[in-house]
């Protein structure tokens, strides 16, 4: 299992995200990490650490989007059944 800098592990789609988690903030963090890597601002060891962090954040985003897509699908299905 990957050990992320913040001590967490990759979320699975069944685990809830933290209450203070925000999609837009997380995407901005990933963009910052990518920019730092592209600009060569990091030591090699830090590149690996930041890359792992970015993967973790992207997995959180994927879980968030998947959960909300399922919710939207359910709402659409409910609307279709009412018609």
Q: Would residue 34 count as lying in a domain?
A: yes
With a CB cutoff of 8 Å and minimum separation 6, the contacts of 80 are none
Q: Would residue 17 count as lying in a domain?
A: no
Q: Would residue 51 count as lying in a domain?
A: yes
Number of domains in the chain: 1
13-71, pLDDT tens digit by residue? 556 788 899 999 999 999 999 999 999 989 999 999 999 999 999 999 999 999 999 99
Query: Does pLDDT of 1 surpass 50?
Result: no
Q: Would residue 7 count as lying in a domain?
A: no
Q: Would residue 5 count as lying in a domain?
A: no
Q: Would residue 73 count as lying in a domain?
A: yes
In this prediction the pTM is 0.73
Q: Would residue 15 count as lying in a domain?
A: no
Residue 61 has what pLDDT? Answer: 95
The range of the structural domain enclosing residue 76 comes to 23-82
Give dist(CA 40, CA 18) in Å, integer. Answer: 31
């Amino acid at each position: 299992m990957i050990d992320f800098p913040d001590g967490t592990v990759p979320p699975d789609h069944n685990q809830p995200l933290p209450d203070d988690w925000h999609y837009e903030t997380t995407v901005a963090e990933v963009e910052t990490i990518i920019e730092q890597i592209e600009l060569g601002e990091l030591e090699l060891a830090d590149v690996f650490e930041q890359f792992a962090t970015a993967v973790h954040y992207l997995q959180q985003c994927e879980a968030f989007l998947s959960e909300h897509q399922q919710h939207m699908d359910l709402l659409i299905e409910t609307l279709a059944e009412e018609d």
